[in-house]
Structure 1
Amino acid sequence: KCKHAATFQLFRLTSPHTMSTPIETVVIHPLVLLAAVDHFNRVAKDTKKRVVGVLLGETFKGKVDVLNSYAVPFEEDRKDPSIWFLDHTFHENMYDMFRKVNAKEKVVGWYSTGPKIRGPDLEITELFRKYTKNPLLVIIDVQPTDDLTIPTEAYLSVQSSPEEQSVSERTFQHIPTEIGAAEPEEIGVEHLLRDIRDKTVSTLTTQIAHKVSSLRNLRKHVDEIETYLTNVCSGKIAVNPKIIYLLQGIYNLSPNLKVENLQKSFAVKGNDMMLVVYLCSLIRSVIALHNLINNHQMNKDAEIKAKEDKDKEATAATKAKQKKDEESKKKSEGEKESSDSKEKPKKSSK
């Protein structure tokens, strides 16, 4: 009896539908992004429509792994956002078929190509609540304009604060999003990117480009922090203690650059890295010049060899023609001698 009770307790704690742990992170896998882009290009390309689909995955200790997805028929009125249609019967049939293939993947929410939250999204999220306890809304930007940000945003429907309940009982809470992949998925993505990558660009150049992109993204977030603090100081936005607490933590973690030893360490480290970059560029230039000279020499040798082969062929053809002419001349002379020898006996008989 105790054994059965312990088993039931373990199932209650690990079941994705009864898990009480709040969702802290959402990890989007590459297959979901590819499926959403393909769905959008098939249905709503060159239009202002959005497409909607169901997300499948697993939940463990506050982390949701979105592993798979499928499209769902969806229509909405542009003039009246409250009028919309989602074919939940189609969804139920599709989910039954997916469950036969992989029973571990459960419904974790739905996706939209937004690119922003729209009016009926709360109602659609409540519709998915009958399939999962905490349905997620993941907005996938299939036409991103900013390469510095992740093209996905995840939201969770939560109870509104008492001040906001007069407007709506529930509201969306933003959830941190990541792009993750298992090892087989990484191999597949690498194969897909083979035709996109420029093979002439070295690894060092790619790493420097990633560093520059990260610094640009950091600058963008610093500007957002500055804008928020300016609006708080001017009274346009109310103070949020959680945001101020996080900003204080960021400031506490930032190094004090006024310390002389720290400045010297940064300078030495930077100079060492720049020296390595300079030497690598110098070596790369020397190797490229060496390869260019070798290539020029190889082409020159190939031209000389081709010319020699051509001369040999011409000489052989000339010799063959002379030999043929000599043979034909000898043959004609032999025929003439034989004809002359035949005519002499006839004259003597006469």
Structure 2
Amino acid sequence: MALNLTVKVHPVVLFQIVDAYERRKAESLRVIGTLLGTAEKGIVEVTNCFCVPHKESESQVEADLTYGMDLYDLNHRVNAQENIVGWWATGNEVTTHSSVIHEYYVRECNNPVHLTVDTTLTNTTRMAIKAYVCVPLGVPNGKQGSMFTPVKVQITCYEPEVVGLQLCSKTQLPSHIQASGMKSSGGIEPMMDLAQVSEACSKLSLMLEQVLAYVDDVLAGKQLPDNQVGRALLDMVHSVPKMTSDQFDEMFNSNVKDLLMVVALSQLIKTQLQLNEKLTLLTTL
């Protein structure tokens, strides 16, 4: 396997791993499971996962592989595009039993990925996420072995996941409240579509101001230029279609009208369903 492999992990996978770790049995030191997703052209995209029950001691490890395959078959019926791409385990390192578990996944998919997630947060406030591939070692006609070699890991999101993450970030208490041990007084309700558009525009305006301030500082010699930042800015400018202010206003207003129409239709459908539910309830009385 090429070591320039990139593993892209979606946030829902991390949430499921943390949830499985929180629900583990008291005697379990770590939790393992199967990674689902797609693998193509040096990129493994992990979009889903599930937990596999197992027992682990210093001398042996046992896993309920039948349960794992049954769960995979059920998931495959719902989403046929998600295939087994590897396995995950909680903890910050590869253990002595990892090679035994990895041998099973070698039979289930080609070049499986091993993902470790440190859910203990012992030495840091951020989860350490690492990915490995198993590389065979040895000489011809000699003793063979294997070694887990780290590969690049990226966190990637679909657009709906970004909205969910933004909503989750609003439920986090400030640091001074966390230190005092206080709990949140209530939940966070999702914003309306127009409110999300307004908030996104405010954030975009703030980021543009930061970029302009950086460019002005570089031109004035107050800050050293960064070639990587310059290339990113150039790609960003080229990705924006060239249009006049009138053309942009027309496009923006058209999209806002479409959004308002969708909001109005959704409210009408919601009202109709509520009326239908009440009429059905009245007829049954």
- Residue in structure 1 matched with residue 159 of structure 2 by the alignment: 183
- Residue in structure 1 matched with residue 12 of structure 2 by the alignment: 31
- Residue in structure 2 matched with residue 96 of structure 1 by the alignment: 73
- CA deviations on 1:136-171 (whole Å, 9 max, x unpaired) are 1100111234558762111111111449x75x5111
Structure 1 residues 266 and 88 mapped into 2: Cα distance closer, same or farther (>3 Å)?
farther
Within the candidate set 53, 57, 71, 1:77 is matched to: 57
TM value normalised by structure 2: 0.58
- Residue in structure 1 matched with residue 146 of structure 2 by the alignment: 170
Within the candidate set 99, 103, 123, 1:126 is matched to: 103
Aligned equivalents of 1:49, 1:160: Cα separation in 2: 30
Q: Which has the higher helix share?
A: 1
Larger-Rg structure: 1
**Which sections of structure 2, spanning at least 5 residues, go unmatched?**
176-202, 208-217, 225-285
Aligned equivalents of 2:110, 2:71: Cα separation in 1: 19
Q: Which has the higher strand share?
A: 2
What amino acid sits opposite 2:107 in the alignment? Answer: K
Report if aligned partners of 2:38, 2:82 keep a CA contact under 8 Å in 1: yes
- Residue in structure 2 matched with residue 268 of structure 1 by the alignment: 222
Report if aligned partners of 2:10, 2:157 keep a CA contact under 8 Å in 1: yes
Within the candidate set 29, 38, 43, 1:49 is matched to: 29
Aligned equivalents of 2:3, 2:73: Cα separation in 1: 27
Moved over 6 A (4+): 20-23
- Residue in structure 2 matched with residue 314 of structure 1 by the alignment: none
2:115 aligned with 1:138: yes
Aligned equivalents of 1:185, 1:197: Cα separation in 2: 21
Report if aligned partners of 1:72, 1:86 keep a CA contact under 8 Å in 2: yes
Quick one: percent identity of the two aligned structures? 28
- Residue in structure 2 matched with residue 61 of structure 1 by the alignment: 41
Structure 1 residues 186 and 146 mapped into 2: Cα distance closer, same or farther (>3 Å)?
farther
Q: CA deviation at 1:192?
A: 1.5
Q: In angstroms, what is the RMSD of aligned CA positions?
A: 3.1
2:91 aligned with 1:114: yes
TM value normalised by structure 1: 0.48
| Matched position secondary structure for 1:176 | strand
**Which sections of structure 1, spanning at least 5 residues, go unmatched?**
1-19, 208-263, 271-350
What amino acid sits opposite 1:268 in the alignment? Answer: K
